[in-house]
Chain A
Amino acid sequence: MKIIVAIKQVPMRDSPLHPDASGKWIDEADLSFEINEPDAYALEEALQLKEKHGGEVVVLCAGPERAAQTIREALAKGADRAIHIETADLAALDTLGVAKLLAAAVTAEKPDLILTGLQSDDLGSGQTGVVMAELLGVPHSTIIMQIEVRDASIRVKRELENGWFQHIEMPLPAALTIQSGSNKLRYATLMGIKKAKSKEIRRVTPAELGGTAAPVAAIEKIYLPQKSKQTQIFEGDAKTASAQLVEKLKFDARVL
């Protein structure tokens, strides 16, 4: 089966984040980047499906030149080839704009399955996979924990709220968004890293995919949240701060 995995490169977890001069996005100058964690799980799921059923795993990524590093890492983990949609300013597009580019790149590939993470760690809109499915006219399901491949269909385990789950069957081709933690992530082997160097990364421009439209939803301003609750922070070394905290818990909050 042919599987496309849409991945995104995002700032590393715990990066210090500050709005840039425009106030509309973050200052990316001193940041390091990595694969969006939920997308790493989508990639892992794709690689396991390939191991079970054979076929091909194609990584699809829209992003600036630096995203090539994250794409290489996905190839080193075992993806067969990649498509890199080179866009210098991904943040200027909205979900629909990004999904249109991704969908245009997917169309020619005619995959059986499209996987992506359930959301991105930066924008967190949780929509790209669903919008892509709609644009491609394929059925979808979200927050998927397991995929069972049948003849011309799949049966997936979808996470609901409060510890509930549900199985859903749908015909192929289909698009799924994958929940984090559903598998154990593999590391790239030395052999994998070596092999990745000769794997194909096809670079395409947004223009070749029909161009980009002005966003419908635009970020006007990005900023540090204002605190709604007064948090009392205890300073000093661990022992002093702990003693002050315990004092409060015992006599003010009365929970000890």
Chain B
Amino acid sequence: MSILVVLEQQSGQWHRMSWETLAAGQQLGATLGEPVETALLGKSLGALANVPATRKLAKVWAVEHDLLDSYTADGYAAALELLIQKTQPKLVLFPHTYQVRDFAPKLATRFSQVLVSDVIAARVETGAITFVRQFFQGKLNGDVRVSGAGPVFASLQAGAWRADALENGSAAVEIFAPTLDAGQIRQKPEPPFREAARAVDLTASEIIVSVGRGIGEQSNLPVVEDLAQAFGAELAASRPICDAGWLPMERQVGSSGQTVAPKLYVAVGISGAIQHLVGMKGAKTIVAINKDPNAPIFEVADYGIVGDLFEVAPALASEVRKAKGA
């Protein structure tokens, strides 16, 4: 019995959430008294496998096969199914990335299990793990318990564990060559691409005023544009605003847009779905203006005003101008 942490890398570039997940694995391993192993997948991993080998782990599995050169859901699920059958872990942890969302539910199904996705905390009580995850887009939390035979599968939310808590050590690297057949892999992936060069680099902004669904309609945007101007801020938005075409995609903050860490982030009419929060919670000071006092955005806000944004935004713009003029 062991804990297996699946790391994510693409062409030698590590996904930073890999290390948060590895730290979570170490902590759960210490509590449960289980050894922790880790796995990375690719065509030929070479020195890349030595990177996790400097951590306190029982083993690093370098899962290598020509068919794992580019990520496919079929390839990753098949390779990890074989590794799990071989190593029989009690618990399998993943970072909750877009890629993991694509293959981990499939993998768990092969063991008649359900992936507990987007986990924000885990508790161990009498040897059993209780996972905490968010429901209703972060408005409620829930405790989830997994039963049944086979390993427990969980994916961990960005930022829920700290990568700097990782313990160093040394681990042996072992190559695992799964038996895969080209016919098993039905997806034919093409190289990743970006749509267009970004004209707006939000990451360079010191102050960002960001607008969400609460704005109601496009014709209301001048209210927040004026607030942004008062602050001398760059205007940004949550996903629904950009999807609707009210602001260009390049102004989107969140997991599918830009990740920003300005001095000041003012969220106006943004409820704070996790996809948005991961893109801005690193801001030094966060202000939230929202009519719902239970909106998840207040979870991360330093300062908040609960109220109608159409009253608050103009009042705030005027106070900011007053303060700056003084």
Which B residues are closer than 8 A to A by beta carbons?
73-74, 77, 97-99, 101-103, 105-106, 108-110, 112-118, 130, 134-148, 186-195, 198, 207, 231, 239-240, 242-244, 249, 255-259, 263-264, 284-285, 287-288, 292-294, 296, 298-308, 311-312, 314-316, 318-320, 322-324
A125→B104 CA distance, assembly (Å): 12
Whether A122 lies near B190 (C-beta < 8 A) is no
Residues of B within 8 A of A52 (CB): none
Whether B105 lies near A127 (C-beta < 8 A) is yes
Nearest neighbor of B191 in chain A, beta-carbon distance: A166
In the assembled complex, the CB of A92 is this many whole angstroms from the nearest CB of chain B, namely: 14
Q: Cβ of A209 < 8 Å from any Cβ of B?
A: no
Contacts A169-B187, A170-B187 given; does A246 touch B142 at CB 8 Å: no
A157→B257 CA distance, assembly (Å): 16
In the assembled complex, the CB of A175 is this many whole angstroms from the nearest CB of chain B, namely: 10
A26→B287 CA distance, assembly (Å): 29
A222→B113 CA distance, assembly (Å): 21
In the assembled complex, the CB of B223 is this many whole angstroms from the nearest CB of chain A, namely: 12
Contacts A159-B98, A168-B188, A242-B316 given; does A26 touch B140 at CB 8 Å: yes
Residues of A within 8 A of B322 (CB): 246
Whether B135 lies near A122 (C-beta < 8 A) is yes
Q: Residue B207 contacts which of A246, A250, A255 (CB distance < 8 angstroms)?
A: A255
Residues of B within 8 A of A26 (CB): 136, 140
Whether A246 lies near B106 (C-beta < 8 A) is no
Nearest neighbor of A227 in chain B, beta-carbon distance: B299
Residues of A within 8 A of B312 (CB): 238, 241-242
Whether A161 lies near B98 (C-beta < 8 A) is yes
Whether B105 lies near A225 (C-beta < 8 A) is no
18 contacts between A and B (CB under 8 A): A96-B112, A99-B109, A124-B118, A125-B118, A127-B105, A131-B109, A133-B106, A161-B98, A163-B194, A169-B190, A216-B114, A229-B300, A234-B304, A239-B318, A245-B316, A246-B319, A253-B303, A256-B264
A139→B186 CA distance, assembly (Å): 6
- Mark each residue of chain A from 170 to 190: 1 if its CB lies under 8 Å from any CB of chain B, else 0: 110000000011000000000
Residues of B within 8 A of A228 (CB): 299
In the assembled complex, the CB of A182 is this many whole angstroms from the nearest CB of chain B, namely: 8
In the assembled complex, the CB of A155 is this many whole angstroms from the nearest CB of chain B, namely: 8
- Mark each residue of chain A from 240 to 256: 1 if its CB lies under 8 Å from any CB of chain B, else 0: 01110111111001011
A231→B302 CA distance, assembly (Å): 5
Q: Cβ of A123 < 8 Å from any Cβ of B?
A: yes
Residues of B within 8 A of A256 (CB): 231, 264, 320, 323-324
Whether A253 lies near B285 (C-beta < 8 A) is yes
A207→B195 CA distance, assembly (Å): 48
Residues of A within 8 A of B105 (CB): 95, 126-127, 130-131, 134
A226→B194 CA distance, assembly (Å): 38
Whether A249 lies near B264 (C-beta < 8 A) is yes
Beta-carbon contacts under 8 Å, A42-80 to B:
none
Q: Residue B299 contacts which of A131, A161, A215, A229 (CB distance < 8 angstroms)?
A: A229
A226→B140 CA distance, assembly (Å): 10
Contacts A161-B255, A234-B304, A248-B303 given; does A216 touch B239 at CB 8 Å: no
A222→B118 CA distance, assembly (Å): 15
Q: Residue A160 contacts which of B77, B187, B192, B298 (CB distance < 8 angstroms)?
A: B192
In the assembled complex, the CB of A115 is this many whole angstroms from the nearest CB of chain B, namely: 16
Nearest neighbor of B305 in chain A, beta-carbon distance: A241
Residues of B within 8 A of A123 (CB): 135
Whether A245 lies near B303 (C-beta < 8 A) is yes
Q: Residue B306 contacts which of A139, A165, A233 (CB distance < 8 angstroms)?
A: A233
Whether B135 lies near A231 (C-beta < 8 A) is no
A176→B264 CA distance, assembly (Å): 39
Interface stretch among A81-89, A104-112, A140-148, A198-206?
A140-148
Known: A166-B191, A222-B142. 11 other contacts (CB 8 A): A96-B113, A163-B249, A171-B186, A181-B242, A220-B143, A238-B311, A238-B314, A242-B316, A246-B323, A253-B302, A255-B284
Q: Cβ of A193 < 8 Å from any Cβ of B?
A: no
Q: Cβ of A14 < 8 Å from any Cβ of B?
A: yes
10 nearest CB pairs, A to B = A181-B243, A139-B186, A127-B105, A238-B315, A130-B105, A238-B311, A255-B264, A217-B114, A242-B316, A216-B148
